[in-house]
Amino acid sequence: MRIRITSDSTTDLGEELIERYQIGILPLTVQIGENVYTDGVDVTPDDIYENYEKNGTLPKTASPNPGDAEAFFRAQLEDGYDEIIHFTISSEMSSSYANAVLAAEEVGHVHVVDTRNLSTGGGLLVIAAAEMAEKGDDPEKIAEACRALADKVDASFVIDNLEFLVKGGRCSPLKALGANLLQLKPCICVSEGKMDVGKKYRGKFAAVLPKYIHDRIADVSEVRKDHIFITHAGCDKKIVQACISELRGIAKFDEIHITRAGCTISSHCGKNTLGVLFLRK
């Protein structure tokens, strides 16, 4: 049986992992002004930042509609796959899951998994599914295992500047002003499928990241060591490298993956945003 693992474009896995695990990607759309683009195909986060600097406007992102999802699933089956396991951003954050379910009902042989997460929080589940499929596990068993595994994902990001959150209506200008004056860097955590504000760190962005990493991995014995992500929205290479060194000093992880956040995360949080995402045991 040939199983195809797919996801919407919010899982931020990067080209290397997509190629390694042969993941099919169903992209979201990104509207900048009057122009509509395809996430990760003809628009990048840097395009979003460039447009914001010029025009002061953020893009609008939209999930794949049921028709697009249906066409995507049918294309996978026509390529010779017998079953599809498809992952979406949390149903609490987008209609991507609901639309994929509608399409799956029309097509058949598609198992849709609500990651209850975003970015590489969902990507961790995609990798888990791909590795189970390589072992020959049944598709229904893989989908159910990943739904259960969603609760084990630790997904969070630290945001340097609240400007994009204010512009997108997710934070009041007054709160942002106070945070900026006090040099507060909020940690955005995913809990029960939703984003919430966790600990607020004080200081310069590069200086608070080691504290954030140690807080998230307070008890290393609870953390799975096979895959851990550093996902960022365009941070300086020195900052990313310092985070890699910090993780290596905490534990011997099998693989530390570095990925860029895609258009969805980048348009919500802005350039200096970085998260460490992993699975708990």
| Range 91-95 average pLDDT | 94
Q: What is the pLDDT of residues 46-63, one digit of tens each?
A: 998 898 888 888 888 899
Q: What is the pLDDT of residues 147-161, one digit of tens each?
A: 999 999 999 999 887
- The per-residue pLDDT for 59 is 87
- The per-residue pLDDT for 181 is 39
Of 38 and 162, the one with more pLDDT: 38
Between CA 151 and CA 111 the distance in angstroms is 18
- The per-residue pLDDT for 266 is 87
Are 250 and 166 in a shared domain?
Answer: yes
Q: Which domain covers residue 179, as residue numbers?
A: 155-280
- The per-residue pLDDT for 178 is 40
Last residue in a domain, options 150, 168, 199: 150
Last residue in a domain, options 127, 150, 173: 150
Are 131 and 18 in a shared domain?
Answer: yes
Between CA 114 and CA 128 the distance in angstroms is 14
SS3 at position 60: strand
- The per-residue pLDDT for 271 is 83
Domain count, the chain: 2
Domain membership flag for residue 258 = yes
Of 177 and 249, the one with more pLDDT: 249
Contact 67, 99 (CB under 8 A): no
Q: Is the pLDDT of residue 243 over 50?
A: yes
Last residue in a domain, options 116, 150, 184: 150
- The per-residue pLDDT for 53 is 86
Between CA 146 and CA 128 the distance in angstroms is 7
- The per-residue pLDDT for 183 is 67
Are 189 and 77 in a shared domain?
Answer: no
Q: How many percent of the chain have pLDDT more than 90?
A: 76
Amino acid symbol at 153: V
Contact 221, 239 (CB under 8 A): no
Domain membership flag for residue 49 = no
Domain membership flag for residue 38 = no
Domain membership flag for residue 266 = yes
Are 221 and 170 in a shared domain?
Answer: yes
Are 18 and 139 in a shared domain?
Answer: yes
- The per-residue pLDDT for 177 is 37
Between CA 206 and CA 47 the distance in angstroms is 24
Are 219 and 181 in a shared domain?
Answer: yes
Q: What is the pLDDT confidence band of residue 38, given thresholds at 50, 70 and 90? A: very high
Are 67 and 186 in a shared domain?
Answer: no
Cross-strand pairs, 199:
none
Q: What is the pLDDT confidence band of residue 270, given thresholds at 50, 70 and 90? A: confident
Q: What is the pLDDT of residues 164-209, one digit of tens each?
A: 665 544 443 334 434 453 467 889 899 999 888 888 898 999 999 9
